[in-house]
Chains A and B, each alone.
Chain A
Amino acid sequence: MMGSENQEAHPHASREEMQSLILDDTSSSTSQSFSSYRSAMTTLSESHHPLSVPIATSPAESDPLLSPPPPQHRHLQSPKSTSNPNMQPPLYFADVGEVNGIESPSPSQSLEKSSPFSRSSSSSSSSSTEYIKIAVSNPQKEVQSSNKIVPGGNTYVTYLITTKTNLPDFGASEFSVRRRFKDVVTLSDRLVEAYRGFLIPPRPDKNVVESQVMQKQEFVEQRRVALEKYLRRLADHPVIRKSDELRVFLQVQGRLPLAASADVASRVIDGAVKLPRQLFGDAPSTIGPQDAVQPAKGGRDLLRMFKELKQYVANDWGGSRPPVDEEDKEFLEKKERLRDLEQQLSNASQQAESLVKAQQDMGETMGELGLTFLKLTKFENEEAVLNAQRIRAADMKNVATAAVKASRYYRGLNAQTVSHLDTLHEYMGLMLSVHTAFSDRASALLTVQTLLSELSSLNSRAEKLETSSSKRFGGDKSRFRKVEELQEAIRVTEDAKNCAAREYERIKENNRIEIERLDAERKADFLNMLKGFVTNQVFYSEKIGSEWAKVAEATSGYVKE
Chain B
Amino acid sequence: MQQRSFSGVSQSPRSPSKQPPYLAVSVTDPAKMGNGVQAYISYKVITKTNLPEYQGLEKIVIRRYSDFVWLRDRLFEKYKGIFIPPLPEKSTVEKFRFTAEFIEMRRQALDIFVNRIASHHELQQSEDLRIFLQADEQTMERARSQESGIFKKKPADLMQIFKDVQSRVSDVVLGKEKPVEELNPDFEKLKRYVFELEDHLAEAQKHAYRLVKRHRELGQSLSDFGRAVKLLGACEGEALGKAFAELGAKSEMLSVKLQKEAQHLLMNFEEPLKDYVRAVHSVKGTIAERAAAFRQHCELAETIKLKEIDLNKLRLTRSERTADAEHEYEELKADGEEARRRFETIVRLMNEEMVRFQEEKTLDMGLAFHEFAKGQSRLANGIADAWRSLLPKLEACSSS
Residues of A at under 8 Å CB distance from B?
11, 337, 340-341, 344-345, 347-348, 350-352, 354-355, 357-359, 361-362, 365-366, 368-369, 372-373, 375-376, 379, 383, 385-386, 388-389, 391-392, 395-396, 398-399, 402, 406, 523-524, 526-528, 530-531, 533-535, 537-538, 541-542, 544-546, 548-549, 551-552, 555-560
Contacts and interface: CB of A to CB of B under 8 A. Distances in A.
A362 B377 contact: no
Nearest to A82: B388
A542 B380 contact: yes
A372 B366 contact: no
B211 A366 contact: yes
Contacts of A354: 221, 224-225
A552 B373 contact: yes
Contact of B243 (A385, A530, A546): A530
B394 interface: yes
B365 interface: yes
B394 A530 contact: yes
A527 B240 contact: yes
A555 B355 contact: no
Contacts of A337: 235
B369 A555 contact: yes
Contact of A537 (B218, B376, B383): B383
A544 to B, nearest CB: 4
Interface stretch (B31-39, B41-49, B89-97, B356-364): B356-364
A551 B215 CA distance: 20
A514 to B, nearest CB: 18
Contacts of B189: 383
B131 interface: no
Interface string B189-202: 10001001100110
B40 interface: no
A233 B388 CA distance: 32
A359 B355 CA distance: 42
Contacts of A541: 380-381, 383-384, 387
B363 A368 contact: no
Contacts of A399: 369, 372-373
Contacts of A402: 373, 376
B221 A527 contact: no
B214 A361 contact: yes
11 contacts: A341-B235, A350-B228, A351-B221, A351-B225, A362-B217, A372-B200, A406-B376, A527-B240, A528-B398, A535-B387, A548-B373
B207 A348 contact: no
Query: Which of A375, A527, A556 has the most chain B CB atoms inside 10 A of its CB?
Result: A527
Contacts of A533: 247
Query: Which of A361, A385, A558 has the most chain B CB atoms inside 10 A of its CB?
Result: A558
Contacts of B217: 358, 361-362
Interface string B369-393: 1101110110111011001101100
Interface in B320-379: 354-355, 358-359, 361-363, 365-367, 369-370, 372-374, 376-377, 379
Interface string B255-279: 0000000000000000000000000
A383 B186 CA distance: 12
Closest 7 CB pairs of A and B: A545-B380, A558-B366, A548-B377, A551-B373, A555-B370, A541-B384, A552-B373
B394 A348 contact: no
B169 interface: no
A362 B369 contact: no
The interface size bin for chain B is 35 or more
A460 B352 CA distance: 115
Contacts of A535: 387, 391
A561 to B, nearest CB: 10
Contacts of A524: 398
Contact of A372 (B207, B247, B372, B388): B207
Given A537-B384, A538-B387, A549-B377, A527 B398 contact: yes
A544 B376 contact: yes
A544 B365 contact: no
A396 B369 contact: yes
Given A358-B218, A545-B380, A559 B367 contact: yes
Contact of A369 (B211, B222, B380, B394): B211
A385 B197 CA distance: 14
Nearest to B390: A534
A531 B394 contact: yes
Contacts of B163: none
Given A388-B361, A389-B362, A344 B231 contact: yes
Contacts of B207: 365, 368-369, 372
Contact of A362 (B200, B218, B359, B381): B218
A398 B221 CA distance: 30
B362 to A, nearest CB: 4
B57 interface: no
A362 B214 contact: yes
Interface string B131-174: 00000000000000000000000000000000000000000000
Nearest to A384: B358
A392 B373 contact: no
